[in-house]
Every structure is written in structure tokens, then in C-alpha cells.
Amino acid sequence: MVRVNIVIMHGLLTERYSLEGKTLSRQLAVHIVAHGPQGKMAVVTNMPIALMAATRKQWLRLIRLTENERSSTLNPARKEQLEMHLLWMRQLRFTVKVPEDALEADITFATADEFVHTPPDCRIVYVTYEFEREKLHMLTSWMPRSGVVVIYGQG
């Protein structure tokens, strides 16, 4: 994954990444793990069910890798840290069901139109396809000023 640029827009940090032939589901899972438990997240996608299934598969792979690291470490402090991280990873809930009011699952996958009707109140929003800027503004309007918008693209 190559970071293209980082911009602060309307109090939100915007990160742009180019996939360059890498799978979106893997990059999403890795980014989520890297940012740890920071509250609920939204993934804006034109294929919610397919992307959620693929991302969840990558998530389970990352859990296995973390379990392997935990079992091979001799440092008790690191082992405890990995155990706490694994606890969080195992409890994370994914969904494609957009709630009527507030996000219920930890990570919700939906289209831009669905999120415009129910704007996600979360700290991180992942954008995986192009749509109108007005919709992006509407669906990020409930985010805190310290929120992060991660945009994936081809270029």
C-alpha cells in the first residue's frame, strides 16, 4: 500500500492510498489492525456484502498471525500486550446492516447512498469507490473533528 497524500479537510484528516494491484480487503484489515480499538468504523463500498466477506477472511488471517506471534514470544509484557490485542480482534463485529439511528457493529459496510440516509457517527470512514463529493460531505458530517477519512483509489 502506498500512501499518496494526507490532507486536513474541514477538521478531518484525509489519507489517500493507491492499491497498486494489492487487494482492498487485505489493506482494509491491515489498516484497521494498525489503528487498533478507536471506536466504530464505516466502510463505504459499492459491494458491501462481498467486501465484508473478503475483509473478514483477511481479519481471521491476521488473528492467526497474531496468535502465532503471541505463542512464539518469550517476553511476558509483549505476550500480555498481544493477548489484549487478540481479545479486541476476536470481539470485533462486522455488518452490512445499516441501522436506523447509530452504528451498532464495530465495522459497518454500506453504500454511500445508505450512509447518506444514516450518516455514520464514527472516528474512521473508509471510502473504496468514487461518488459525488456532496455525498462524501454529508456522510462525514457527523464525524468528530479529529476523525479520519481513508480513501482508496487506483492512482
Position 1 scores a pLDDT of 42
87 within domain boundaries: no
Residue 9 pLDDT class (50, 70, 90 cuts): low
Least confident span in 30-39, 68-77, 109-118:
30-39
68 within domain boundaries: no
124 within domain boundaries: yes
The total number of structural domains in the chain stands at 1
85 within domain boundaries: no
Amino acid at 69: E
Least confident span in 14-23, 83-92, 120-129:
14-23
Q: What percent of the chain is predicted at pLDDT more than 90?
A: 54
Position 12 scores a pLDDT of 84
In terms of residue numbers, what domain contains 12? 2-62+93-153
What is the model's pTM? 0.87
30 within domain boundaries: yes
Over residues 94-107, the pLDDT tens digits come to 999 887 767 788 89
73 within domain boundaries: no
Residue 77 pLDDT class (50, 70, 90 cuts): very high
**pLDDT higher than threshold 60 for residue 154:** no
67 within domain boundaries: no
146 within domain boundaries: yes
Q: Which residues contact 78 (CB under 8 A, 6 or more apart)?
A: none
- CATH number of the domain to which 52 belongs: 3.40.50.300
| Sequence-distant contacts of 95-104: CB under 8 A, at least 24 apart | 95/52, 96/48, 96/49, 96/52, 103/40, 103/42
**pLDDT higher than threshold 70 for residue 88:** yes
